[in-house]
Amino acid sequence: MSWDDEDVRQLLDTLRSRNSDYTEVEVKRARDGIPHLGETLSAFGNMPSGGTIVLGLDEANGFAVTGVPDSSAAEQAIASQARQSVEPPLHVDFQTAFVDGRPILLADVQGLPLADRPCSYRGRAYLRQADGDYELSPQELQQLERAKLIGAEHPRDDLRAIEGSGIDDLDPDLRAAFVSGVRSSSPRLATADDQSILRAKGVIEPRGGRLTFAGLAALSRYPQQFAPSYAITAAVQLPRGSGARTRDLVHLDGPLPDLLDQAIDWVRRNTSTRIRYDDRGHARDENELPARAVRELIANALVHRDMSPLTEGKRIEIRLTDDDLIITSPGGLRGITVRQLGDLLGKAAVNQYLYEIAKFTRIRDGARVIEGEGGGIREVREALHAAGMSPPVFHDTGVMFVARISRHAFINADDLAWLAETASDLPLSDLQRALLVRLRHGEELTDSDVRRRFGVVDRETAQIALQTLVDNGVAVRHGSRGGTRYRLAGASLLPEEVSIIVDEPKLTPDPPRNAVTKHGEAVLAALDAPRQLGEVVQATGLTAGQVRFALSRLIDAGSVRMLGAQGQRDTRYAIADEHI
């Protein structure tokens, strides 16, 4: 890829917020020369989209920029390793970027075409997992070899007949609902008998009575009788040093609709809820992670996981950490890349017959497992964007697919109470409210932060969101073009970080002449005694946003002091002592 300044800033922000490198990025300090990169080069060569090696950052020191002493020599060293240490050789593109006046080197390793994989280092093939390289198992190597044949042979693993199964193994209720749905949607099958419909849709084999893997997974009473690995393992992953590795470890079983229902329930009970106010001011409970996004990602894993014999023993894994919800499924994408996910033309069902069956299968709340329009990933992105959250992150290693949702945009009860006091009367979007909470916690945000964390597509939208906070008096902007940052107005952070000042009786002063802002004189005149925000609004006739903005500037100028803390209902404002 071609890196611009914005891309590099986003890369650094991501590395520093994660406190580690990740699947597509490997960071090296490289102050003492170029390290051996054979395992990493092999791993990136085996990844469909390759990966990037970054030289000149110190991971152990918060990804501080150390720089690369000689970029040209570093390029030659990496290129030499890419040609000579791995087989087949790899193509690498280089670009030097300057951060804080120091050069860093970005080496983009191109993934090999499927027909040329695996890429090996000293006779061993590697893949990326999280922030490390691991050796491919014999089973995973077989998956790669099998994937090479897919384009020519089109193996239909979901149509594989399951030995020992039969039509009597179907769940009566699921079968009846499925057949009814097919009849109502297809004039050709409207008058067909049940068995004809089940054969036509790939639930049972074309000639014979055995269930297909697709029929077994979606409609049978207990698929795990014949396919134990068509199941889900879920667990809360505890931080290191907590004395235990996981909490609420469960092994979910049953047909596809039951698996989806159980997995959604598990995520719901292990995440928090919040109160959210709609446009009419009505409060409602809402889960920390948007239910639509969670359902679509789990459904995609169940419908699109690899169902070949080579993945027997591999389940779908759901992990919940302090930072993320992570869903891992066996097998990679087919006929599509990660970048194409969610595009109108980016559709490619791994299991075509299971996909069709799932369109007529419903979960407990009556919703279809999938809508069948190929828009599931778009719906995930839209749901997360509407909640002011970061977009999903996807990783495809060719033998494993990972979907990740960040939990960092969640607004807890304390922050919601602060928002209700501080900004309930302001016309802010969900995104702007989420940004305001980050400012409350002492962060200084840039438009790049907004794009990376909250899934905003373009810089202009991010800048408008931040500027709206400034216009409403709850944020201030500082810095020049290219380095503009935004912080909370008044520099008042969480209540526990603010000293409470006890007010003492004193003579009412005349308003100081330096009113700082357009409405400063009116606000100062209203402070003939310590007053709460609402009292100043009533006395001046200004809007709450105008008063809040004027107060923030007056506090910064030393003309007004806050008695209490931002977000406390009894907080008052008074003329500063030096103006008495």
In angstroms, the Cα distances linking 220 to 139, 175, 196, 203, 499 are 28, 8, 17, 10, 64
Report the alpha-carbon distance of residue 50 to residue 47 in Å, rounded: 5
Phi, psi dihedral angles at 441 (to 5 degrees): -85, 15
Amino acid at 97: A
In angstroms, the Cα distances linking 513 to 473, 506, 508 are 21, 20, 15
Token pair 């290693």 in the structure block, residue: 397
Amino acid at 285: D
pTM recorded for the entire structure: 0.64
Report the alpha-carbon distance of residue 248 to residue 241 in Å, rounded: 18
Instruction: Please check whether the domain covering 232-406 is classified as CATH 3.40.50.300.
Output: no
In angstroms, the Cα distances linking 108 to 28, 117, 127, 400, 533 are 14, 18, 16, 22, 54
Cα Rg, the chain, nearest whole Å: 29
Give the right CATH number for 495-579 from 1.10.10.10, 3.90.1580.10, 3.40.50.150, 1.20.1250.20. 1.10.10.10
Instruction: Please check whether the domain covering 5-136 is classified as CATH 3.30.950.30.
Output: yes
Q: Where are the domains of the chain?
A: 5-136, 157-225, 232-406, 413-469, 495-579
Report which of 198, 227, 229 is spatially closest to residue 215, judged by C-alpha positions.
Answer: 198
Per-residue pLDDT tens digits of the chain, which is 580 residues long:
678 777 787 788 778 777 777 788 999 988 778 889 999 999 999 888 888 999 999 888 888 888 898 888 999 999 999 999 999 999 999 999 988 888 999 999 998 888 888 999 999 999 887 667 889 888 888 877 777 766 545 568 899 999 999 999 999 999 999 999 999 999 999 999 999 999 999 999 988 899 999 999 999 999 999 999 999 999 998 877 777 788 899 999 999 999 999 999 999 999 987 655 554 545 566 788 888 999 999 999 999 999 988 888 899 999 998 888 999 999 887 767 777 676 554 456 788 899 999 999 998 888 888 876 667 888 888 888 777 677 888 888 888 899 998 886 656 667 777 887 777 778 887 778 888 888 887 888 888 777 766 656 567 778 888 988 988 888 998 876 556 889 888 744 443 333 222 223 333 344 444 455 667 888 888 888 888 887 888 888 776 667 777 787 788 777 888 887 655 567 788 888 644 4
Are 327 and 297 contacting, i.e. CB atoms less than 8 angstroms apart? yes
Are 253 and 259 contacting, i.e. CB atoms less than 8 angstroms apart? yes
Token pair 């152990």 in the structure block, residue: 60
